[in-house]
A and B are shown apart, each in its own frame.
Chain A
Amino acid sequence: MAEPATNTRRSSPTRDALRLFFRNKPAVVSLVMISLLVLIALAGEIFTGKPPTPEESEVIRQTQELGDRVRMSRNPRSIVDPLKTELKDKLERPYLQTLAGGIFGGFAEDKPEFIQGVYAENMRLSGAPESEIRKLSDDDIRERRKEGLSADGARAYWLGTDHLGRDVFARLWAGTTISLTVGLLVVGISVLIGISLGGIAGFFGRSRVGLPFLLMVLCGLAALVARAVDAPALVVPLVTVALVCLVLQLFAAVIGREYRAVVFVLGVLLVTGGVQFYVDSVERSTPEGRLLVQSSRAEEQAYQALIETRDLGTEVKKIENKEAGAIGEAERLARHYALEVAYARLEFEHQRFKLTKYRSDRDVALRLCGEEKERGELMKSKGRDAPAAALLAGAEKRRRMLEATEEEIKQRLSEVDKAMDEAVAELEKARVLVSTDTVARLAALREARLKVAQAGLGTTMLVRRDRELEKKFEEDFAKGLAGSTDPADKDRIKAAMGRAGALGRLLAEAEAQADWSPMMKEREEARALVKAVEENDPALLLRSHAWLNLSNAQDKPVRGEVALLQGSNAMLERRAAMRSEYHTTYSTQTRNSREGLLKAELLSGWERYPIYAKLRHFMTPVMLGLLMLVSVLLLAGAAQRAVGESKSILRKVFVPTLTVDDMVMRFTEVMMTIPTLILIIAILALFSRDVYIVMAVLGLTGWMGTTRFVRAEILSLREQDFIQAARALGVSDIRIIWRHLVPNAISPVLVSATLGVASAILLESTLSFLGLGATADQPTWGSILSEGRSYINDAGWLMLIPALAILVTVLSFNLLGEGLREAFNPKLRGR
Chain B
Amino acid sequence: MAAYIIRRIGQMALTLFVISILTFVISALSPLDPFAAQLDPKKTPTDLERQRDQEGFDDPIAAKYVLFYKRFFIDLGAVISGRADHTWQLTSLKTRAPVLPTMWGKMLVSLPLFIVTTIVVWTMSFPVGIYTALKRNTFQDRLITVASFTLIALPGFWISMEVIRFFTQRGIPILSPGTMGVDLDGAQGFMDMAWHMGVPGIIGAFTGIAILTRYVKGSMVEVMSQDYVRTAKAKGLSPEVVTYKHALRNASLPFVTMIAGLLPGIFGGSVIFESIYNWPGLGRWVFEANLNKDLYVVVTALFVSSALTLLGILISDILYTVADPRVRLA
Contacts and interface: CB of A to CB of B under 8 A. Distances in A.
B is bound to A: yes
B149 A799 contact: no
B33 interface: yes
A498 interface: no
A792 B165 contact: yes
A64 interface: no
Contact of B62 (A225, A583, A681, A792): A225
Among B15, B49, B156, B272: residue with most chain A CB under 10 A: B49
Given A673-B309, A814-B149, A682 B26 contact: yes
Given A678-B302, A793-B169, A229 B149 contact: no
Interface string A300-322: 00000011001001000000000
Contacts of B305: 675, 678
Contacts of A758: 152-153
B321 interface: no
Among B30, B157, B291: residue with most chain A CB under 10 A: B157
Interface stretch (A272-280, A403-411, A713-721, A763-771): A763-771
A573 to B, nearest CB: 5
Interface of B: 15, 18-19, 22-23, 26-27, 29-31, 33, 36, 44-46, 48-50, 53, 58, 60-63, 142, 145-146, 149-150, 152-159, 161-162, 165, 169, 222, 225, 264, 267-269, 271-272, 275, 286-287, 290-291, 293, 298, 301-302, 305-306, 309-310
Nearest to B168: A793
B27 A670 contact: no
B33 to A, nearest CB: 7
A827 B268 CA distance: 35
A686 B30 contact: yes
Contacts of A553: none
10 closest cross-chain pairs (CB), A and B: A576-B45, A810-B153, A229-B60, A811-B153, A229-B62, A675-B268, A803-B158, A677-B268, A576-B49, A572-B49
A111 interface: no
Given A572-B50, A806-B153, A685 B302 contact: no
Given A579-B49, A793-B165, A806-B153, 6 more contacts: A313-B53, A673-B19, A678-B301, A682-B26, A811-B150, A831-B225
Among A674, A785, A811: residue with most chain B CB under 10 A: A674
Contacts of B142: 26
Interface string A546-588: 0000000000000000000000010011011101100100010
Among B30, B60, B153, B154: residue with most chain A CB under 10 A: B153
Given A575-B49, A679-B23, A792-B165, A685 B293 contact: yes
A806 B62 CA distance: 43
Contacts of B287: 681, 770
A635 B152 CA distance: 43
Contacts of A26: 142, 146
B15 A678 contact: no
20 contacts: A26-B142, A228-B60, A228-B61, A576-B49, A580-B45, A583-B36, A670-B15, A673-B19, A673-B310, A678-B271, A678-B286, A685-B290, A785-B157, A789-B161, A793-B165, A793-B169, A803-B155, A806-B158, A807-B150, A827-B222
B309 A685 contact: no
Nearest to A226: B62
Nearest to B291: A685
A372 interface: no
A770 B158 contact: no
Nearest to A317: B53
Given A792-B165, A793-B165, A811-B150, A675 B27 contact: no
Contact of A682 (B44, B60, B146, B298): B298
B165 A310 contact: no
A288 interface: no
Contact of B271 (A569, A587, A681, A765): A681
A785 B155 contact: yes
A424 B286 CA distance: 44
Contacts of A313: 53
A509 to B, nearest CB: 34
A41 interface: no
Contacts of A471: none
A230 interface: yes
B154 A807 contact: yes
Contacts of B155: 762, 765-766, 769, 785, 803, 806-807
Contacts of A808: 153
Contacts of A428: none
B157 A766 contact: yes
Contact of A673 (B36, B169, B306): B306
A183 B58 CA distance: 39
Contacts of B49: 572-573, 575-576, 579
Contacts of B267: 675, 678
Contacts of A792: 161-162, 165
A792 B36 CA distance: 34
A443 interface: no
B30 to A, nearest CB: 5
A670 to B, nearest CB: 5
A230 B60 CA distance: 7
A476 interface: no
A693 to B, nearest CB: 14
B23 A769 contact: no
A488 B61 CA distance: 48
A63 B141 CA distance: 63
B323 to A, nearest CB: 23
Nearest to A684: B290
Contacts of A681: 271, 286-287, 290
B149 A818 contact: yes
A574 to B, nearest CB: 9
Contacts of B23: 674, 679, 682
A675 B302 contact: yes
Interface in A767-809: 769-770, 785, 789, 792-793, 796, 799, 803, 806-809
Given A670-B15, A675-B267, A686-B29, A576 B36 contact: no
A310 B60 contact: no
Contact of A766 (B62, B162, B272): B272
A683 B23 CA distance: 10
Contact of B61 (A229, A583, A785, A807): A229
Interface in A658-683: 666, 669-670, 673-679, 681-683
Interface string A336-374: 000000000000000000000000000000000000000
Contact of A675 (B60, B63, B157, B264): B264
A423 interface: no
Nearest to B146: A26
A168 interface: no
B174 to A, nearest CB: 15
Given A583-B36, A670-B18, A793-B169, A683 B26 contact: yes
Given A682-B27, A762-B155, A577 B45 contact: yes
A686 B27 CA distance: 8
Contacts of A307: 58
Contact of A679 (B31, B53, B302): B302
Contacts of B18: 670
A827 B219 CA distance: 13
B36 A674 contact: no
Among A587, A762, A809: residue with most chain B CB under 10 A: A762
A815 interface: yes
Given A666-B15, A681-B290, A799 B158 contact: yes
A762 B153 contact: yes
Contacts of B145: 818
B31 A573 contact: no
B224 to A, nearest CB: 11
B244 to A, nearest CB: 23
A756 to B, nearest CB: 13
Nearest to A669: B15
A460 B240 CA distance: 92
Given A307-B58, A675-B306, A678-B286, A770 B272 contact: yes
